[in-house]
Amino acid sequence: MSHDVTDLRFFVVITESGSLAEAARRMDVTASSVSQRLRQLEDRLGLHLVHRSTRRFSLTEEGELFHAGAVNLLAELDGLIDNLRARSGEVAGTLDVCGPLGFGRHHLAAAIADFHTLHPRLKVSLTLSDVVSAADANRFDLIVHIGSLANSSMVAYPIAPNARFVCAAPDYLARSPAPRTPDELAAHDCIVLRENQEDVTLWHFRKKRNEVAVRVAPTLSSNDGDVARQWALKGKGLIMRSEWDVAESLACGQLVRVLDDWSLPPADVVALVAQRAGMSARVKLFLSFLQERFKPAPPWRPRK
């Protein structure tokens, strides 16, 4: 019995979509055609692969095994084709990348444009999102992530260093003198950015061996970094932000660092890649490109 490799890709897509309706949306077909093709696949295999319900489905034991095998076989096949093309100096296929909203707009989009110029036969898809679920993570070849990592089965590769600073606009500090210790943050208006499912109101500081955690009461909060930074620029309060996002504003005096004798946990930029046997040539190339692009110092950190 022969099997089409497209059947493997089809089953991986519907499994990682979580529902037939979502799978149909991703494949740009009708839900009924997805359901029909799934039945045909099960008939050819002589196996029951999924438990169906009105809205969602779950895999049978055979379905779990078939999905795991399909993922591994497709990774090996794609890797083989990529590596053969790389030997001839050609890189093609599709690279699915995900990155944070703000960093994606300001840095990742330009990096991908330059990478595509070097490899014009490669198709690149960029999705911007600050929250990527475990189920959605499998859709991407590489995820650019900033900050702390939750428990993950993915491998993290360093891309660039990125500190965190507390800062405010000069006119805010003229009205409310800068805090001298983290404890004094309680008397200040604070702006927080809701991202990465972190406890964003708990700010951690360290000076030598002294570690302090302060719970701030935000007067303004947003899930968009650009919005939070604009509020800070308008003098609405203190903000804790990534170095990459505020470096330019600090350099021109629009924002001023406070508590600069205290350090905050870094939010380094990393690339997350699934733990699969072997990394495709296109992923290796893009990972190396990103790492080289931010050496010896990232654009937000002046070279010494």
What is the bridge-based pairing of β-strands 93-99 and 142-146? parallel
Q: Which two three-digit tokens encode residue 164?
A: 């965190």
Residues 6 or more apart whose CB falls under 8 angstroms from that of 20 comprise 14, 31, 34, 35, 38, 57
Q: Tell me the pLDDT of the chain averaged across its residues.
A: 87
- Rounded Cα distance between 34 and 48, Å, is 16
pTM of this prediction exceeds 0.95: no
Domain(s) of CATH 1.10.10.10: residues in the chain: 5-75
- For residue 85, pLDDT beyond 60: yes
Residue 48: phi, psi to the nearest 5?
-100, 110
Q: Domain 91-160+268-293 maps to which CATH number in 2.40.50.140, 3.40.630.30, 3.40.50.720, 3.40.190.10?
A: 3.40.190.10
DSSP-based three-state secondary structure for 210 = strand
Give CA–CA dist 257/140, Å, rounded.
36
**pLDDT given at position 252:** 95
Least confident of 5-9, 175-179, 284-288, 300-304: 300-304
Burial label, 81 (beta-carbon count in 10 A; 0-12, 13-18, 19+)? middle
* CA 266 – CA 294 distance, rounded (Å): 17
**pLDDT tens digit string along 130-178?**
877 766 777 889 999 998 776 567 889 999 999 999 999 999 999 999 9
Residues of the chain with CATH 3.40.190.10: 91-160+268-293, 164-258
Residue 105 has what DSSP assignment? I
| pLDDT band at residue 300 under the 50/70/90 scheme | very high
For the 5-75 domain, the top CATH level (class) is mainly alpha
Class of domain 164-258: alpha beta
Q: Which amino acid belongs to residue 150?
A: A
Task: List the one residue out of 203, 200, 250, 248 whose CA is nearest residue 220.
Answer: 200
